[in-house]
């Protein structure tokens, strides 16, 4: 048996329509090793792992487990072969206890005893260092704890291969460290770990082997020891795509260069009737001038009880033009409700909220179509876009007023604008008639960011704008936000400290609905404490 790797993928290919997600992929997964699968958005990492986990069937190629060829028709087949996946979106039942979740679907007798279940889960948790209370209801757990429940589910089923899909996206820095410790422990006990990531420091700190995917192909595979530092890893990951690559255009079926897209967009926008009359980027819409006050967004003692959640209370801060304020916190500490209130999706209970110097009631009663508010929601597929609509329609969701004339949509122009936007942002696939759901998360985000910035908003709310994006796409979003800052104030809501430090002038930390502290990003002493503040364990002074 020693001759065979635990899992061997050979010549795996998968097409979605004409889009090539995976092409002739060979990959070995060995017991006791942590393998990192590195690649940009849409590189095919998730597709490959869905194939291994039995959720998708490959068009060609074969999977062998310990030298024996297996065919996975459903996740159950993969389970039986000892392969399990920790999904980015947890597959848990919130109303049930940890123990019940862990033992759901576990083979065994017909009857179950709660006491035995608890004991079993407790022992398992201890063995792998995954601290979580077996009796707690999953709905009351933090994201990190929920992830541990997911891992325990797989361990309980005696999975030999554990696949992690961007596991640290929802974790605090401390929780991430704990996860890595648990991963090493699992590997030491003979499990094979595969983890999908595009965070280079993570890969360097935890992986034994690295495979790099680009456009559905494994372009490089090597031992961790072969790369000395992040720069080298980044070079290998981005490869030639760091520089302009001719292959890109061939893949999208479009032959526009990046600069051309931006020029096209400028051209389309300047031709819009609304822009001709009022000057694109010049004045506010509907003939109403927004006061050119310096304060873009100001909150004073703003409170809101969430629906079934804690919400937030007495939040005060102000953002002026040219500033970026990062609101940092672990997901679920009131950020979502705060953003909803600021963007007019929810009514505050108390306090004052002013956008561009106007009370929120006045502001939202006559929302300016230009130079107003731009919102980049966290939930790209739910709030920001309609998966079943084409890219043009998705583009028009918030830009529609720019493209309507006497109540009629100018679809021709919208199509041109979308095409230009696609070229400018290098969105794949490049077909404006493609449906929203055909885009990977990163490409969809590019479309959303482009769409929101198009109206030259004075106030921008960006909610985890780079979550799940690869290095190149993240840099691109950051660059565009920095450019947008010239003419606007930006509220950046993020769980990623690195992102906050990369962009923000001021940092506010939120915990359980209250601002723990607000300080300048240059205040090194405070910056060092952010991680602790996010966990609620630092006292605000």
Partner 1 sequence: MEDFLPYLAVLLPAMTAAISTGAPILYATLGELVMERGGVLNLGVEGMMMVGALAAFLGCYHTGSPWFGLLCGGFSAMLMSMLHGAICLIFQGSQVVSGLALTIFGTGLANYLGTPYIQMKIQGFTALDVPLLSSIPVLGPIFFQQDVLVYLSYILPFLLWWLLMRTRFGLALRATGENPAAVRAAGISPGAVRWAALMLGGFLVGLGGAYLALASMRMWVDNLVSGRGWIAVALVIFAFWRPGRAVFGVYLFSGITAYLFRAQALGVGIPTAFLSMLPYLMTLAVLLASSLRGKDSGAPADLANNLRPED
Contact footprint for partner 1 (CB under 8 A): 55, 74-76, 79, 87, 91-96, 100-101, 103-106, 108-114, 153, 307-308
Q: Of 50 and 488, which CB lies nearer to partner 1 in the complex structure?
A: 50
Cα→Cα distances 169→47, 100, 143, 173, 243, Å: 18, 25, 10, 10, 27
Q: Give the distance from CA 70 to its chain's centroid.
A: 33
Exposure b/e, 375-402, CB count within 10 A at least 16 = b: bbbbebeebbbeeeebbbbbbbebbebb
**Minimum Å distance from CB 47 to partner 1?**
13
**Minimum Å distance from CB 59 to partner 1?**
17
How far apart, in whole angstroms, are the C-alpha atoms of residue 275 and residue 447? 21
Q: Of 104 and 250, which CB lies nearer to partner 1 in the complex structure?
A: 104
Cα→Cα distances 404→48, 274, 350, 407, 452, Å: 42, 9, 37, 6, 17
Among 37, 77, 34, 33, residue whose Cα is nearest residue 57: 77
**Minimum Å distance from CB 418 to partner 1?**
26
Phi (first) and psi of residue 223, to 5 degrees:
-80, 150
Q: Give the distance from CA 457 to its chain's centroid.
A: 23
Q: Kind of pairing, strands 350-355 and 358-359?
A: antiparallel
Q: Of 351 and 387, which CB lies nearer to partner 1 in the complex structure?
A: 387
Q: Of 1 and 115, which CB lies nearer to partner 1 in the complex structure?
A: 115
How far apart, in whole angstroms, are the C-alpha atoms of residue 514 and residue 311? 9
Q: Of 110 and 243, which CB lies nearer to partner 1 in the complex structure?
A: 110
Cα→Cα distances 409→283, 291, 391, 414, 453, Å: 22, 29, 15, 8, 20
**Minimum Å distance from CB 42 to partner 1?**
18
Q: Of 83 and 459, which CB lies nearer to partner 1 in the complex structure?
A: 83
Q: Of 87 and 312, which CB lies nearer to partner 1 in the complex structure?
A: 87
Among 386, 356, 36, 82, residue whose Cα is nearest residue 194: 36
**Minimum Å distance from CB 22 to partner 1?**
18
Q: Kind of pairing, strands 161-165 and 192-197?
A: parallel
**Minimum Å distance from CB 206 to partner 1?**
24
Write the DSSP string, 331-377.
TTSSHHHHHHHHTTSS--SEEEEEETTEEHHHHHHT--SSSSEEEE-
Q: Of 79 and 419, which CB lies nearer to partner 1 in the complex structure?
A: 79
**Minimum Å distance from CB 93 to partner 1?**
4
**Minimum Å distance from CB 99 to partner 1?**
10
How far apart, in whole angstroms, are the C-alpha atoms of residue 166 and residue 286? 45
**Minimum Å distance from CB 189 to partner 1?**
23
Whether residue 412 contacts residue 382, with contact meaning beta carbons closer than 8 Å, is answered with: no
Cα→Cα distances 415→96, 403, 455, 462, Å: 48, 10, 16, 25
Q: Kind of pairing, strands 34-39 and 209-214?
A: parallel
**Minimum Å distance from CB 110 to partner 1?**
6
Q: Of 100 and 175, which CB lies nearer to partner 1 in the complex structure?
A: 100
Q: Of 116 and 205, which CB lies nearer to partner 1 in the complex structure?
A: 116
């Amino acid at each position: 048996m020693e001759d065979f790797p635990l899992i061997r993928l050979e010549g795996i290919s998968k097409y979605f329509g004409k889009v090539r997600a995976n092409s002739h992929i060979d990959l070995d997964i060995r017991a006791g090793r942590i393998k990192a699968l590195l690649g940009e958005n849409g590189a095919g990492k998730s597709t490959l792992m869905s194939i291994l986990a039995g959720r998708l069937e490959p068009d060609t190629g074969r999977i062998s487990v310990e030298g024996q060829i297996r065919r996975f028709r459903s996740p159950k087949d993969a389970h039986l072969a000892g392969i399990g996946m920790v999904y980015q979106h947890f597959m848990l039942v919130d109303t049930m206890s940890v123990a019940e979740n862990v033992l759901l679907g576990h083979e065994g007798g017909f009857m179950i005893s709660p006491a035995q279940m608890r004991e079993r889960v407790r022992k398992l948790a201890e063995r792998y260092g995954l601290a979580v209370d077996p009796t707690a209801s999953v709905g009351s757990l933090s994201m990190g704890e929920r992830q541990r429940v997911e891992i325990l589910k797989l361990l309980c089923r005696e999975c030999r291969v554990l696949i992690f899909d961007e596991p640290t996206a929802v974790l605090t820095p401390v929780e991430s460290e704990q996860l890595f410790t648990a991963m090493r422990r699992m590997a030491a006990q003979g499990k094979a770990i595969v983890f999908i990531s595009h965070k280079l420091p993570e890969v360097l700190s935890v992986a034994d082997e690295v495979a790099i995917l680009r456009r559905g192909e494994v372009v490089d595979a090597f031992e961790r020891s072969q790369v000395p530092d992040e720069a080298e890893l980044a070079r290998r990951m981005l490869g030639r795509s760091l520089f302009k690559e001719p292959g890109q255009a061939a893949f999208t079926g479009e032959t526009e260069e990046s600069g051309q897209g931006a020029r096209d967009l400028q051209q389309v926008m300047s031709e819009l009737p609304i822009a001709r009359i009022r000057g694109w980027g010049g004045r506010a819409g509907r003939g109403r001038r927004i006061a050119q006050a310096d304060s873009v967004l100001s909150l004073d003692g703003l409170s809101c009880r969430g629906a079934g959640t804690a919400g937030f209370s007495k939040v005060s801060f102000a953002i002026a033009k040219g500033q970026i304020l990062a609101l940092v916190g672990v997901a679920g500490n009131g950020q979502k409700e705060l953003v909803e209130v600021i963007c007019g999706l929810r009514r505050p209970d108390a306090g004052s909220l002013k956008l561009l110097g106007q009370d929120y009631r006045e502001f939202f009663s006559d929302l300016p179509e230009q130079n107003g508010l731009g919102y980049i929601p966290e939930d790209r597929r739910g709030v920001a876009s309609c998966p079943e609509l084409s890219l043009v329609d998705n583009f028009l969701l918030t830009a529609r007023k720019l493209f309507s004339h006497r109540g009629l949509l100018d679809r021709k122009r919208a199509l041109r604008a979308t095409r230009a936007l696609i070229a400018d942002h290098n969105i794949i696939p490049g077909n404006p008639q493609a449906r929203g759901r055909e885009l990977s998360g990163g490409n969809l985000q590019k479309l959303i960011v482009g769409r929101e910035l198009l109206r030259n908003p004075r106030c921008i709310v960006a909610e985890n704008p780079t979550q799940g994006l690869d290095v190149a796409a993240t840099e691109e979003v950051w660059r565009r936000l920095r450019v947008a800052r010239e003419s606007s104030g930006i509220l950046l809501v993020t769980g990623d400290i690195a992102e906050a430090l990369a962009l923000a002038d001021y940092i506010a930390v939120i915990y359980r609905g209250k601002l723990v502290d607000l300080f300048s990003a240059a205040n090194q002493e405070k910056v060092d404490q952010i991680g602790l503040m996010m966990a609620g364990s630092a006292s605000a002074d």
